[in-house]
Amino acid sequence: MAGFANYTTLLLGTVGINPSPIFLFAICTGLAWYIAFKDIQLSTVIMLVIEAVSVGLILILGFIILGKKGYVIDTSQLTLEGVQPSGVVLGLVLAIFSYVGFESATTLGDEAKRPLKNIPRAVIISTITSGLFFMVISYIEVIGFQGSPIAFNESKAPLSDLANFAGVGFFGWVIALGAAVSLFACSLACINAGARILFSMGRHGFFHHSIGQAHGRNETPHVAVHLTALATFMVPTVMNMVGIQILDVYAYTGTIATYGFLLPYILISIAAPVYLKREHQLRRIDIVYSILAVGFMIVPVLGSIGIPGENSIFPVPSAPYNFFPYLFLGYLAVGLGWFLLLRSRSPEILQSMEADIEASHARFSDMKKV
């Protein structure tokens, strides 16, 4: 939502309109809430179309930039000229922060057609296409900013600046519009995914049972959608009200949220071979994948926490980023405390959840046979 507000502010500023960020948060939340509440198929189709158009526009701009530059091979990038290990680590941390969420389709398992086929396909295709797109466009952007009056890392709207450098400033406006709409789609995706996690927790008794109810006509987790949309609106709104700028809201919340992705990624990478062994399907290559996955995830964790030392390749981040890991640990402590309290007071809830997971596992095992 902060990203949406940033690009929308830049667009409207060109015609002399300067809306309040909170107003833009409300517009983004309201539209996303309505679509998420109405129909999951409508949500996914809208997100797919929006992202396809946005990616297509960025690729066109990339070809224009290469055409203006007159070359494609950049030896300084290909030979890693001037690259330092600390820079690679910092870049890897930033890249993973931008990459998390590729598996959001997994939250729609029960709602998808042929989930055992379509969900893995969606995750794999998202990973490959996003990775290729990131690499190609990053490569082109570095070429585009060479010799420019603005440093790449100081640009608030890199694609718009690149369009101006290439002499197609109007295209930068179109790209900014596409970026704003794309970030709206990301907000919608977050509300959809978060609501379904909240719905599952309500259904299992972690929260009030009403959160685990689906709408009679729309068949969407409407109560969970309402609460998720409200929380999604309140966080950037409160931060902005206390004086935090839009891009800082984007950076702060994105960094903290990424810890919430990295921890499950690491736990799943450890749990996957254990699960496969239980199912008598474990291969040596699966263990290798698990070790590599945990290793790659440890890099951004160490990079975001930092290791004290003058020559450390994991320098301690500057404030307030150095406090975020501890803020996340506090958040985990609250969740763990709630879990332990629930287990001591209502052990039948956990037993019911385990039984439900086993029933789901058995149901999908039967689907595999079919």
Residue 4 is predicted with a pLDDT of 93
Q: How far apart are the first and last CA of the chain?
A: 43
Whether the pLDDT of residue 68 is over 90: the answer is no
Residue 367 is predicted with a pLDDT of 60
Distances (CA, A) of 169 to 141, 159, 195, 308: 16, 10, 39, 45
Angle (nearest 5°) at CA 357 between 277 and 36: 120
Angle (nearest 5°) at CA 254 between 82 and 138: 35
* Mean pLDDT for the stretch of residues 287-297: 92
Q: Which of 288, 307, 254 is nearest to 85 (CA)?
A: 307
Query: For residues 279 and 272, is the Cβ–Cβ distance under 8 A?
Result: no
Q: Computed from CA positions of residues 168, 171, 175, 177, in that sequence, does the dihedral angle turn out positive or negative?
A: positive
Q: pLDDT confidence of 272, banded at 50, 70, 90?
A: very high
Eight-state DSSP code of residue 153: G
Query: For residues 317 and 300, is the Cβ–Cβ distance under 8 A?
Result: no
According to DSSP H, which parts of the chain are helical?
A: 2-13, 21-38, 40-69, 75-78, 85-99, 115-145, 158-165, 169-203, 222-241, 246-278, 284-305, 324-345, 347-369
Size (the chain), residues = 370
* Mean pLDDT for the stretch of residues 285-296: 93
What six digits make up the tokens of 103?
């598996």
Query: For residues 181 and 191, is the Cβ–Cβ distance under 8 A?
Result: no
Q: Which tens digit of pLDDT belongs to each residue from 115-155? A: 888 888 888 888 888 889 988 998 999 998 888 888 887 78
Neighbours of 312 (CB within 10 A): 13
Q: pLDDT confidence of 224, banded at 50, 70, 90?
A: very high
Residue 28 is predicted with a pLDDT of 94
Least confident span in 154-163, 309-318, 356-365: 309-318
Q: pLDDT confidence of 308, banded at 50, 70, 90?
A: confident
Whether the pLDDT of residue 236 is over 60: the answer is yes
Q: pLDDT confidence of 233, banded at 50, 70, 90?
A: very high
What six digits make up the tokens of 274?
């254990």
Whether the pLDDT of residue 369 is over 60: the answer is no
Residue 368 is predicted with a pLDDT of 60
Across all residues in the chain, what is the average pLDDT? 85
Per the model's pLDDT, the better-predicted residue between 60 and 299 turns out to be: 60
- Catalogue all structural domains in the chain, each as residue range(s) with its CATH number: 2-369 (1.20.1740.10)
Residue 317 is predicted with a pLDDT of 77
What six digits make up the tokens of 62?
């990339």
Per the model's pLDDT, the better-predicted residue between 117 and 243 turns out to be: 243
Query: For residues 198 and 220, is the Cβ–Cβ distance under 8 A?
Result: no
Per the model's pLDDT, the better-predicted residue between 314 and 280 turns out to be: 280
Least confident span in 82-86, 123-127, 310-314, 351-355: 310-314
Q: pLDDT confidence of 231, banded at 50, 70, 90?
A: very high
Per the model's pLDDT, the better-predicted residue between 162 and 23 turns out to be: 23
Q: Which of 157, 152, 186 is nearest to 171 (CA)?
A: 157
Q: Which of 152, 124, 151 is nearest to 137 (CA)?
A: 152
